[in-house]
Chain A
Amino acid sequence: MSVKVEKQFQVSAFFTFFLIHSSQTGIGILNFQSQVIKDAEQDAWISLIITWVITHIILYIIFKLLDGETNDLVAVHQYCFGKTAGSIMSVLALVYFWLASLTVLRAYIEVIQIWVYPTIKTWQLCFIFGLTFYYIISSGFRSLTGFSFWGVILPAFLFFLIYFPLKHMNYINLLPAFSHSLTELFLSSKAYALLFLGFEWILMYYPFIRSSNNKDISKWAHLGNMYTFIIYLVITLVSFLYFNQDVLKHLPWPTLMMVKVVMFSFLERFEYIFVFIWLLVIISPICISLWVCTRIAKRTFSIPPKATLLFLLIAEMIASVNFREFRSTDYLIHFTANAGIGFVYVYLPLLLIIKWIKNHFMKNRLNKGF
């Protein structure tokens, strides 16, 4: 049942770090503050730590699922549910992955329309993005990995921009610390969970990682998740230090508002540059998730990936053009977040339990046979 991928199409285990990290960072990092601050207020950073720890556990579960003969999600599904039911589950996963890609794309288009080109039409942006993404995804997984690598390295310098808001920081905004109940903290953790979604795509691209052993890959994957956490922690703390929490509730895109303060003698309004450079960051989640969709289609129904890709991209474009009202993007994000949390934090642990039961069952049957 396990998938063998030719060596020339594989990437080394080291890139798992970048694949995991770049799938997680998308559009959420630009506007998560107003969501997470609702319940835990200034203590939201504690919620972030909770989400992070849970994510590591889920990552561990994912590697347990991929252990042995079942080295991708389709194989796991077929092993647990049989051929037909497994295929149905895989298609459901495909729909969720496609939704994730759609959400990132639609949210980025919204950012562009709000911040840079208020008059541009959605279909224009969709069209141009569609062409670009088709080219990038059809280049194959190795190129995508290259993108996720350089999509992390090149925008890394943006991180140093925190110097500018930190000049205006006010530590009082973080006080009083530890003043919230566990319920409030967990509610904020749920808001943070959206930020970590994306690492589950490793369920499909796992066979494409070349490694001598499973441990090596899981080490890099956990490190990637850790790096994501560090970035989020820093952004959370900096935005809390820079903005009063009442202000954060009023600002739709706090991270971009924070970038506004960056000024050089030759360049002002850095948020424009920031939005454009962010394109490199969002390419990875959009493209990897779409690639994962094509992979699922290929593994379950043997449909050629280019055909699936074309179909999914066109569907994505049509869908994003149809989110016209400005609230509808919020609903989409909300819906995808809930679907993602359901899939990753509820379904995957259940799947592992089913796999264990099945393992046990099979072993018993084998024993009886002999």
Chain B
Amino acid sequence: MIKEKKNQNPAEIVKRAKKSSDFKEIKKNVSGVKIFISCFTSLIDHKTMEQVFLPYINECEKKTDQAFDINQFKNSIPLEEVMTTQDAKEIEEKLHKGFVLITFENTSEDWLLVNVSNLSKGIRETNETENEYSVTGPKLGFVESLDTNILLLRSKLKSPLVTTEELTLGTLSKTRVAIVYLDGITNEKHIETVKKRLAKIDFDIIWDTSALDEIIRDNSHTPFPLYLSTERLDRICYTLSLGQVVIFSDGSPSAISGPSTLLDFFISPEDYYYNWIVGSFFRLIRIFAIIFSIFSSSLYVAVVTFHYEVVPADLLGPLIESRANVPFPPVMEVLFLEMTIELLREAGARLPTKVGQTLGIVGGIVIGQAAVMAALTSNILLIVVALSALASFTTPTMSMSNTIRLLRFPFIIMSSLLGGLGIMLGFAVILCHLFKLKSFETPYMVPLYPFRRNNFKDSFIRSPYSVINKRPDYLRAKDTIKYSSKEKNKKKEDINDE
């Protein structure tokens, strides 16, 4: 850990900086005063430097008639961000953010900082939400620049309620982290908790906003994501509008928002773009898919290893026939196939998109078919595992999708040890674990437990807009009504009004 020295001398800072090869210092003479202009050349915008700043200094050099006045000098610099300071720490920070430092020999204690930075260099401009794709709806995602992200957010939500608070985190990275909330809607308790948690952080580099999840979470030993991490603008706008707190950090294309609940992770923004019946249907399909994905392969293991009794007579034939030549116990067979699918997924994620697709087809079809032909697995299991893998990809958030893929393995092991009883025991433990989890001191399982009847309107199904006009209770928003639910243009009914 690096110890921050206190009460540094500005001169020492320059001395330390001079060790770096990209640090430059130029000596100039303005109105008879010697000035030193220094900066990290790699951080500055050369165009501004050469076309605006240096010509101005040269012009000043020529004007020798006036007496030097620091204030006048400062105000006449034709650049936006100019400041004077004596704080050594600030000087060091600003130098590393691409400011130009001007020091005056013997004239002034003040040091002048001019912003000619070019930090957006090398940062992509657009993000088409590739990882959280949706068919309908805006495909605008966050990028690596904090300012762009805030700009995107403010251009979507133009309300004056949107409030941002910034702080710097990370002993090495000095990352700018922004907390965004709706003033007057989001409960202060949440904002306070977020600030407290962030202030307590002692960490070297903030790699990504989603990494903050693990650092600020209430319970660090859990496979479940406790904060919704997303790169979608519309999703963040939605959570903000509900009264959640959003955290951005510079250099990360994702934002996290909390307090989140388990069900939040199964909501896709698309649910709100289709009409409510279709949206609800998709959501139910997704929740079914998740249950199926977690339990199907372990159920196969349990039934085939222990409970042959529950198989209906007509299904016995195909099941035994497909298992007959497989030399391994069912659990090995399942683990083998599950690992294959995990390998395909992991390899696909590391490879370029086009190669990844080919690999998926080759892996899926060829390996699967060959494994069945070589009697390494039964073809019924191949169907089960492939379907459950497919089902796990329906989860709209990446972090939850990973958790669900992980959860299958303990269940498979438990079912191979104790059959159906093992699955139920695993389920009981996970249920208990979920009851304990909290996200920003709000129970994770809301509205399932603690039971909130009202919040079921937008959980397993997506009710019509006129019904879900209130913010969920568990967020304790200060203003609970989102919009008035009155239907404005009520249609005349055929049967009554005509």
Contact = CB atoms under 8 A, between A and B. Distances in A.
A170 B7 CA distance: 93
Could you tell me the dominant secondary structure of chain B's interface residues?
helix
Interface string B413-437: 0000011110111011101100110
B146 interface: no
A128 B307 contact: no
A220 interface: no
B428 A132 contact: yes
Given A266-B315, A268-B312, A143 B425 contact: no
Interface stretch (A172-180, A185-193, A273-281, A299-307): A273-281
B429 A132 contact: yes
B306 interface: yes
A151 to B, nearest CB: 9
Contacts of B307: 116, 269, 272
B449 A146 contact: yes
20 contacts: A11-B450, A15-B451, A116-B420, A116-B421, A117-B419, A129-B425, A136-B428, A139-B435, A143-B436, A146-B431, A146-B435, A147-B431, A147-B432, A147-B435, A150-B431, A265-B312, A266-B315, A273-B310, A275-B420, A277-B424
Given A14-B451, A280-B428, A283-B428, A269 B435 contact: no
B310 A116 contact: no
Contacts of A275: 420
B436 A139 contact: yes
A249 interface: no
B420 A273 contact: yes
Contacts of B432: 135-136, 139, 143, 146-147
A264 B307 CA distance: 16
A12 interface: yes
A283 B428 CA distance: 9
Nearest to A270: B310
Nearest to B453: A14
Contacts of A136: 428-429, 432
B309 interface: yes
Contact of A135 (B427, B429, B450): B429
Contacts of B449: 146, 149-150
B306 A117 contact: yes
A56 interface: no
Given A268-B309, A272-B307, A279 B431 contact: no
Nearest to B414: A128
Contacts of B315: 266
Could you tell me the dominant secondary structure of chain A's interface residues?
helix
Nearest to B422: A128
10 smallest CB-CB distances across A and B, nearest first, come from A146-B435, A146-B449, A143-B435, A276-B420, A279-B424, A269-B309, A276-B424, A136-B432, A269-B310, A268-B312
Interface in B290-337: 306-307, 309-313, 315
Interface of B: 306-307, 309-313, 315, 418-421, 423-425, 427-429, 431-432, 435-436, 445, 448-451
Given A135-B432, A267-B310, 15 more contacts: A15-B451, A117-B419, A136-B428, A136-B429, A139-B436, A263-B312, A266-B315, A267-B312, A268-B310, A268-B313, A269-B307, A275-B420, A276-B424, A279-B425, A283-B428
A114 to B, nearest CB: 14
A64 interface: no
Nearest to B315: A266
A146 B445 contact: yes
B431 to A, nearest CB: 6
A147 B429 CA distance: 10
B310 A112 contact: no
A81 B57 CA distance: 94
Nearest to B448: A150
A155 to B, nearest CB: 11
Contact of A116 (B312, B419, B451): B419
Contact of A12 (B313, B423, B450): B450
B223 to A, nearest CB: 15
Contacts of B435: 139, 142-143, 146-147
Contacts of B418: 128
Contacts of B451: 14-15, 149
A136 B311 CA distance: 33
Interface centre among A12, A129, A270, A272, by most chain B C-beta atoms within 10 angstroms, is A272
Nearest to B314: A265
Contacts of A129: 425
Contacts of A132: 425, 428-429
A138 B449 CA distance: 18
A272 B311 CA distance: 11
Nearest to A140: B436
Contacts of B448: 150
Contact of B423 (A117, A142, A264, A276): A276
A135 B449 CA distance: 18
A139 B448 CA distance: 18
Contacts of B421: 112, 116-117, 276, 279
A187 B421 CA distance: 36
Interface in A104-155: 112, 116-117, 128-129, 132, 135-136, 139-140, 142-143, 146-147, 149-150
A149 to B, nearest CB: 6
Contacts of B311: 268
Contacts of A117: 306, 419, 421
Contacts of B424: 276-277, 279-280
A330 to B, nearest CB: 23
Nearest to A142: B435
A13 to B, nearest CB: 12
B310 A272 contact: yes
A248 B307 CA distance: 27
Nearest to B426: A132
A267 B306 CA distance: 15
A13 B164 CA distance: 40
A313 to B, nearest CB: 15
B312 A279 contact: no
